[in-house]
Structure 1
Amino acid sequence: MIVTSDLEVRVGARTLLTAPGQQLRVQPGDRIGLVGRNGAGKTTTMRILAGEAEPYAGAVTRSGTVGYLPQDSREGNIEVTARERVLSARGLDKIQSAMERQQEIMETTADDNRRDTAIRKYSRLEEQYHTLGGYEAASEAARICDALGLPARILDQQLKTLSGGQRRRVELAQILFAASAGSGKSATTLLLDEPTNHLDADSITWLREFLNRHEGGLIMISHDVDLLEAVCNKIWFLDAVRGEADVYNMGWKKYLDARATDEARRRRERANAEKKASALKKQAAKLGAKATKAAAAKQMLARAEKMIESTDEIRRSDKVAHITFPEPAPCGKTPMNATGLTKMYGSLEVFAGVDLAIDRGSRVVVLGFNGAGKTTLLKLLAGVERTDGEGGIVSGHGLKIGYFAQEHDTIDPEATVWENTVRACPDAGAQDLRGLLGAFMFSGDQLEQPAGTLSGGEKTRLALAALVSSRANVLLLDEPTNNLDPVSREQVLNALGTYTGAVVLVTHDPGAVEALDPERVIVLPDGTEDLWSDEYMEIVELA
């Protein structure tokens, strides 16, 4: 259970949210959708509810266990295996490791006393292991992982060998395993920020069923409206204009209807009040011309102002980022040519011998199951990582690369919004950069805000802003629509459709593929190249 008291959330001088009294509270059985446009404060509020950050004012009281999945998961020890990371949710990883050490001693030592000591320790550890669910729990963890697209072969790999999407699914699996009592039911309060990022269609279906069975509280940030509709029985809407939260004790569709009805009421009442106030002001103007009626005129004006103030404020339309990709710099016929690209993690081969020629204005989609190496391939093309073996990248005449990283790796979280933009666009003038950032909805005090405090959607907008000023003629885009609200997503899709340079796109978003209208497809891990056909859209939807 989580209860807030007179909560106030700020970033710098900007107030994101005021929630008087105990307006925001999560109880067992509450499945809350936390919604609002990018930058409204959803991620910041979630971090405060999870205890990862402090509110500007007020307090948050938590009782019971909280499972928090941040939007940008940062794992601890990446040397451990995925299985160990998931089992650590119940402390089973350490017990299992200790059991294996004692078993090794029992099998190898020639010292009888040492063997007897190891047998006693092993027995105590095994008893503790059984008490915590033991082998049944390990099997349960494996089932959760498999449902999230993490098969057994992945579980025995170290986290450092996994893709960003796989590592995020490991974090989600760990949280759901901790909250699960064998059937998905527990008193844990789950705080999930964009939990469907990197999940395929089957995994999203399984997650929806899991969350519907969950008996503890749930707050979920998601731009997946189908998931919100299927799971949530309450909606918290963060109004970016008013800096307030509206609480709706209803599901998604009823919330949309209620909000539309509320908007219509506000406009109707406001129009009536303005009409009556206008009549009063006209009458006051007539009376004001006479000295003897000045006091009455003043009263009429005051009454007119009060009439307007007493009505609920009409919600102004949210600002929209004006996202366009750059006018590409001139280049040769083939600005980039990749040959024999290979990536290994120790003895594990991700892919090998991938060839790809990027001609001027070409449009390529990279497909493959999660973990096939799609993000890794883009990193090699961007020069962020180096190929293993003798392959490499040949830069053609005039090549200018614009790279959008899925995990926002191109953004320095310690630097401000302004500092990140200057570093990305060193040749641009200050006034031009301010205009650019303004088009992407960054202005005023936000320019001095540390980039690490931005929401996922805001980080996406910041990274895209850097691309606009780059004049890149080859864009490498890794999930560019992740974390974006519907309006911002449409802006990105429109930008994709009108950009005249070359694009290499990794995405789970069928709309992004349709907007790109690709000519070719690279299927990993085999590196097979083919002409695009609509048959490949099924892979996009299921990948």
Structure 2
Amino acid sequence: MLQVKDIEVRAGARLLLSPVSFQVIPGDRIGLVGRNGAGKTTLTRILSGESQPAAGTVNRTGQLGYLPQDPRSGDPEQIARDRILGARGLDQAIRRMRRTEETMASADGAERDEAMSAYTRAEAAFLAAGGYAAESEAARIASNLGLPDRVLGQPLKTLSGGQRRRIELARILFSDADTLLLDEPTNHLDADSIVWLRSYLQGFAGGLIIISHDTALLEAVVNKVFHLDANRSEMDVYSMDWKRYLLQRETDEKRRKRELVNAERKAAQLMAQADKMRAKATKAVAAQNMAKRAERLLAGVEGERAVDQVAKIRFPDPAPSGKTPVRGFELSKSYGSLEVFTAVDLAVDRGSKVVILGLNGAGKTTMLRVLYGIEEPTAGRVELGHGARVGYYAQEHETLDVDRSVLANMVSASPNLNDTDVRKVLGSFLFTGDDVDKPARVLSGGEKTRLSLAMLVVSAANVLLLDEPTNNLDPASRAEVLSALRTYAGAVVLVTHDPGAVEALHPDRVLVLPDGVEDLWSEDYADLIDLA
């Protein structure tokens, strides 16, 4: 359970959330919503204990499971299955059992007897932690999240960002936590896994706070809504499900508008009467009192609330290039004995639109990293054509220098722009005032997305490599990104789970991994998007 008392949330000097108190008890399934930058991620970090509030206290009882937007936990050398089982300590017990089994197989006499005793102790610890039933439960959760046995047997360092995130989600769901804090849990999940997750969370008996732009998930799961209003720095609490919340917000806005109109009409009448009375000296005091009544009447109504700002995302005309700015020849990539893709040929022509599809772990992100030059292919080569200027949007925001400020990251993307022009572009992406001086590491996932896209805008790239560019975006910002994709005149290579992003791109061709099949785009491939 979480008991929150008078916490204040700030990002540097900027107030995100005025002091607020609430609790999360078993059975609460809370949707935490608000536009990007409102403070949702910052609040969940505070609730999890990763950050501290500017004021107030958070009391945690029971076990808490927290899924951040960009989980980096775990030893890179650790086997994925052990990472999940470690949530209940099963991994250590299993390792001790395996070691003693090996010793028993090769030892004799007293050494063998000691190994048998050690095995008995290890097995007792294993059974106390849930034993084979718990191990089977972990495998079932992993399978439902699209993690097959071959992935579970790999070291974490060999997995894609999406696979790592699903490993962390499986670990948290397996942990038996009393309270779950889930920040965009459906990122990188295919359609079947999202359906399973909805069902799982519907039946979760503990407390839950979930941040998600997946309205179908919110509609299916939440029974309370906490809305962070960035314009007022306040949190509105609605003890109702998602559909009723949407209706209530609309009703409240109409009521506020009606109350303001009525108050303004009555205040105008009072002021007109006061103006008439001021003409007579004997009624000057009464006129002053009447004017004060009009002021109090207007002060007592809230009126219409400010509409959330939306980033204005527009990609400029690209720099001129040759006919084929990027070409890959016989590209192969392996990590040790793990073969990701083999002998893939790809030509990205000027202005062409290519979507890369394939199951999770098929090498989509790796292909973009190879094309950009972040990773070297195991075999084959990448050639850049005349005038090629390549921009890369990384789903895990690896292209950001998290130790540098928002402004410094932008300057590094376009050293030819002056400070005024850089700040102007940042302003169109909703980074204003002191926001530009914040280090990139404190930004939410949505803010990192906006900064990464702003850096692409000033880069004058004529080839964009985009890896899940709509993740972590609120609906309005997502619409802006899709609109920018529709009108961009340069070449695009896109990896996405978002059917709307593919529709906006209107691709010419498709590359299916790991087989490397390149084909003209047709709607027959659309069914693969949700599975990607």
Matched, 1:467 2:456: yes
Contact 1:71 1:193 in 2 (8 A): yes
Which amino acid letter does the alignment assign opposite residue 175 of structure 1? I
CA deviation profile, 1:163-182 (whole Å, cap 9, x unmatched)? 10001000000000112xxx
1-side partners of 2:247 and 2:365: how far apart? 40
- 8 Å CA contact 1:19, 1:245 repeated in 2: no
In the alignment, the residues of structure 1 paired with residue 189 and residue 74 of structure 2 have an alpha-carbon distance, to the nearest angstrom, of 22
Q: Letter of the 1:54 partner, please give it.
A: Q
Structure 2: which amino acid aligns with 1:276? Answer: K
Look up the SS of the partner of 1:10 in the other structure: strand
Partner of 1:320: 310
Distance 2:433 2:125 in 1: 57
Give, in whole Å, the separation in 1 of the partners of 2:138 and 2:316: 46
Deviates more, 1:286-295 or 1:53-62: 286-295
Q: Separation in 1 of the partners of 2:456 and 2:280?
A: 64
Q: Which runs of 4+ in 1 moved over 6 A?
A: none
2:361 pairs, out of 363, 371, 383, with 371
**Do the aligned partners of 1:365 and 1:504 also contact (CA within 8 Å) in 2?**
yes
Q: Equivalents in 2 of 1:102, 1:32: separation in Å?
A: 46
Give the SS at the match of 1:541.
coil
d(CA) in 2 for partners of 1:284 and 1:535? 73
Counterpart pick for 2:138 among 129, 137, 141: 141
Over 3 Å counting, the alpha-carbon distance change for 1:25 and 1:114 in structure 2 is same
Could you say which residue in structure 2 is the equivalent of 1:211?
Answer: 201
Q: 1:291 to 1:406 in 2, by over 3 A?
A: same
* 2:30 aligned counterpart, secondary structure: strand
* Equivalent-residue separation in structure 2 for 1:152 and 1:498 (angstroms): 42
Distance in 1 (CA, whole Å) between partners of 2:88 and 2:382 is: 46
User: 1:296: Cα distance to partner?
Assistant: 3.2
2:263 equivalent to 1:273: yes
Stretch of structure 1 that moved more, 95-104 or 82-91 = 95-104
Q: 2:341 aligned to 351, 357, 374, which one?
A: 351
Please point out which of 495, 502, 513 is paired with 1:513.
Answer: 502
1:291 Cα deviation from its structure 2 partner: 5.2
Identify if the C-alpha distance between structure 1 residues 97 and 301 changes in structure 2 by more than 3 Å, giving closer, same or farther: same
Matched residue SS, 1:259: helix
Q: 1:53 aligns with which of 46, 51, 54?
A: 51
Distance 2:226 2:209 in 1: 9
| Corresponding letter in the other structure for 1:366 | I
Rounded to whole Å, the distance in 1 between the matches of 2:284 and 2:74 is 73
Task: Give CA deviations for 1:309-336 in whole Å, capped at 9, x if unaligned.
Answer: 1112421110111011131001111111
Question: Given residue 4 of structure 2, which amino acid in structure 1 is its aligned partner?
Answer: T
Secondary structure of residue in 1 paired with 2:209: strand
- Structure 2 residue matching 1:343: 3-state secondary structure: strand
User: Offset of 1:134 from its aligned partner?
Assistant: 1.2
Q: 1:110-121, aligned counterparts within 5 Å? A: 110=108, 112-121=109-118
**Partner AA of 1:148 in structure 2:** L
- Say if 1:326 and 1:467, in contact at 8 Å, map to a contact too: no
What letter matches 1:528 in structure 2? V
1:485 is aligned to 474
Deviations 1:418-447 (A, max 9, x none): 111111221111111111000000001111
Instruction: State which of 518, 525, 532 in structure 2 corresponds to 1:536.
Output: 525
Tell me which amino acid in the other structure corresponds to 1:18.
Answer: S
**Structure 1 letter corresponding to 2:348:** I
Alignment-derived partner of residue 426 in structure 1: 415
Question: 1:182 is matched with which residue?
Answer: none
SS at match of 2:530: helix
In the alignment, structure 2 segments of 5+ residues that lack a partner are: none
Extract unaligned runs of 5+ from structure 1.
Answer: 180-186
* Cα distance, 1:128 vs structure 2: 1.3
Cα displacement (A) at 1:382: 0.9
Worse-matched range after superposition: 493-502 or 290-299: 290-299
In structure 2, what is the equivalent of residue 6 of structure 1? 6
| Residues 418 and 448 in structure 1, CA contact (< 8 A), matched pair in contact too | yes
Counterparts of 1:14 and 1:277, CA distance in 2: 35
Letter in structure 2 aligned against 1:478:
D
The CA deviation at 1:352 is 1.1
Which residue of 382, 386, 392 corresponds with 1:393? 382
The one of 219, 222, 227 aligned to 1:229: 219
Q: Could you report, residue by residue, the CA deviation over 1:495-541 in whole angstroms, capped at 9, with x for unpaired residues?
A: 00000000000000000000000000000001100000001010002
Query: Match for 2:328 among 333, 338, 342?
Result: 338
2 CA distance for matches of 1:322 and 1:286?
Answer: 49
2:130 is aligned with what amino acid?
Answer: G
How far does the alpha carbon of each residue in 1:55-110 deviate from its partner, in whole angstroms, 9 at most, with x for none?
11111111111110001101220101110000000011111111111111111235
Aligned to 1:65: 63
In the alignment, the residues of structure 2 paired with residue 461 and residue 33 of structure 1 have an alpha-carbon distance, to the nearest angstrom, of: 23
Instruction: Classify the secondary structure of the residue corresponding to 2:410.
Output: helix
Cα contact 1:326–1:470 (8 A) shared by 2: no
Secondary structure of the 1:316 match is coil
Which residue of structure 2 aligns with residue 450 of structure 1?
439
1:455 is matched by which residue type in structure 2? S
The answer to whether the aligner puts 1:109 opposite 2:107 as a matched pair is: yes
Aligned match of 1:155 in 152, 156, 164?
152
Cα deviation, residue 255, structure 1? 0.2
Alpha-carbon distance between aligned partners in 1 of 2:147 and 2:202, rounded to the nearest angstrom? 22
CA drift of 1:392 comes to: 1.1
Q: Does the CA contact (< 8 Å) of 2:395 and 2:469 recur in 1?
A: yes
Per-residue CA distance 1:144-194 (angstroms, 9 max, x = gap): 100000011111000111110001000000000112xxxxxxx61011000
Equivalent residue for 1:166, pick from 160, 163, 166:
163
Q: Percent identity?
A: 60
Amino acid in the other structure paired with 1:173: A
CA distance in 1: counterparts of 2:286 and 2:317, whole angstroms: 63
What amino acid maps onto 2:411 in structure 1?
Answer: V
Deviation (angstroms), 1:288: 4.1
Matched residue, 1:95:
93
Between 468-477 and 406-415, report the one with greater CA deviation: 406-415
RMSD after superposition: 1.2
Looking at structure 2, the residues matched to 435 and 245 of structure 1 have their Cα atoms a distance apart, in angstroms, of 30
Aligned length: 532
**1: distance between equivalents of 2:530 and 2:162?**
16
